[in-house]
């Protein structure tokens, strides 16, 4: 079973970006923790980050047929990324949306997600642990019901 973990714009700057909001861990550290958890769950975790919406879409289109689920932190594309939304919908894969920060406790515009309607669920405000929880939940759901 393969799960794609996709990180959108500016998430390559984790560890340098405002640590009081996004935490101390770098993206490499978070990806390593996800791969470790994937091993424990017997799930292949494939990670990808881009600052470009088109590159995120290309990745989803290329990988969707060989994957069973998607975990995505779309960064600011959460709030206006309609092409990304379409690509996620077209993938027909179950999607979990993750945010490191609590987007409902910040600026008003961050409380709107255009991605949420295609997501099975959303985790917001739990830092890097949100990704691990998303992986555990998605793997468990997929194992319970292996088909799309
Ligand atoms: C974010 C929240 C977004 O509003 C922001 O643009 C990000 C990161 C989060 O993980 O909390 O880049 O998705």
Question: In sequence order, what are the residues at sequence separation of 6 or more whose Cβ sits closer than 8 angstroms to the Cβ of residue 41?
Answer: 135, 136, 139
| Model confidence, pTM | 0.97
Q: What is the pLDDT of residues 42-79, one digit of tens each?
A: 999 999 999 999 999 999 999 999 999 999 999 999 99
With b for 16 or more beta-carbon neighbours within 10 A and e for fewer, the 74-92 pattern comes to bbebbbebeebbebbeebe
99 is an active site residue: yes
Q: What is the chain's mean pLDDT, rounded?
A: 97
The pLDDT of residue 145? 72
Average pLDDT over residues 98-126: 98
Q: Which two tokens stand for residue 125?
A: 């405000």
Average pLDDT over residues 81-106: 98
Q: How far apart are CA 125 and CA 99, in angstroms?
A: 6
Q: Which of 75, 116, 125 to mutate to test the pocket of ligand 1 (most atoms within 8 A of CB)?
A: 75
Q: What is the DSSP string of the chain?
A: -EEEEEE-TTGGGTTTS-HHHH-S--HHHHHHHHHHHHHHHT-EEEEEE-S-HHHHHHHHHHHGGG-SEEEEE-GGGGGT-HHHHHHHHHHT--EEEEESS-GGGS-GGGG--SSGGG-SEEEESSTTHHHHHHHHHHHHHHHHS---
Report phi then psi at 16, rounded to 5: -115, -35
What confidence tier does 90 reach under pLDDT thresholds 50, 70, 90?
Answer: very high
Domain edges within the chain: 2-143
What confidence tier does 138 reach under pLDDT thresholds 50, 70, 90?
Answer: very high
Is the pLDDT at 127 greater than 60? The verdict is yes
Q: 145 C-alpha vs ligand 1 centroid, how far in Å? A: 30
Average pLDDT over residues 129-136: 98
CATH domain 2-143 topology? Rossmann fold (3.40.50)
């Amino acid at each position: 079973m393969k799960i794609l973990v996709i990180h959108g714009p500016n998430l390559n700057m984790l560890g340098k970006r405002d640590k009081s909001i996004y935490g101390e861990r770098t993206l490499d550290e978070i990806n390593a923790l996800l791969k470790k958890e994937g091993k424990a769950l017997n799930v292949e975790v494939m990670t990808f980050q881009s600052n470009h919406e088109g590159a995120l879409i290309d990745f989803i289109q290329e990988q969707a047929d060989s994957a069973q689920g998607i975990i995505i932190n779309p960064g600011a594309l959460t709030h206006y990324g309609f092409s990304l939304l379409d690509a996620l919908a077209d993938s027909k894969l179950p999607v979990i949306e993750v945010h490191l920060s609590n987007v409902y406790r910040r600026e008003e515009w961050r409380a709107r997600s255009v991605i949420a309607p295609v997501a099975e669920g959303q985790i917001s405000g739990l830092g890097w642990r949100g990704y691990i929880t998303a992986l555990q939940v998605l793997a468990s759901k997929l194992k319970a019901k292996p088909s799309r």
